[in-house]
Homo-oligomer: A and B are copies of this chain.
Amino acid sequence: MHYGIVIFPSKPVQDEINAYRKRYDPHYTLIPPHLTLKEAFDTDDAKITELITELKYIANETKPFDLTVNKVSTFAPVTNTIYLKVEPVQPLYDLAEKMQSGKFPDNRTYSFVPHITMAQDLSQDEYSDVYGSLSMKDIQLTDKIDRFHLVYQLDNGIWNVHESFIFGKEFV
């Protein structure tokens, strides 16, 4: 199965980001607004059971932390994805790092940049317009993060949640 590991911000933050995604992100109906800790990877039932135990240990080692957004940025020219830049706090790097080592497959393609996607797969003209308009907006978001989610992709492209991992609250 095709899995990923993400942080969903709180509902008010998701609603605010969705107002942009609705117009600019073709993945809008496939997954709610999220910060990807580990990009999609394929694994089987036996291996995912093993990784779930690891994820519980990781969650128990993590303390709730603040997520802060105050800037729109872009991955251009690599891709024309436009995103909310998430303030690079240590717990995010620790989480992402732990999910690439030990029993986890290392599936990094780029170095970890904490972000929440607002727009992607735009034509070059659209991209320029949308980035011009979004980068002038004063978007300030803060949120308390106390969990991450293991998600899997259905055949229709929609992601569902297999399991939540609450910091300091997992039974191993």
Contact = CB atoms under 8 A, between A and B. Distances in A.
A80 interface: no
A13 to B, nearest CB: 11
A127 to B, nearest CB: 23
A99 to B, nearest CB: 18
Contacts of A8: 160
Contact of A166 (B147, B149, B160, B163): B163
A161 interface: yes
A170 B158 CA distance: 27
Interface residues of A, number: 25
Contact of A22 (B11, B32, B156, B170): B156
Interface in A11-69: 11, 14-15, 18, 22, 29, 32
Interface in A94-147: 147
Given A170-B171, A171-B170, A14 B161 contact: no
A1 interface: yes
A147 B152 CA distance: 15
Interface in A56-91: none
B18 A155 contact: yes
Contacts of A149: 161
A18 B171 contact: no
A11 B152 contact: yes
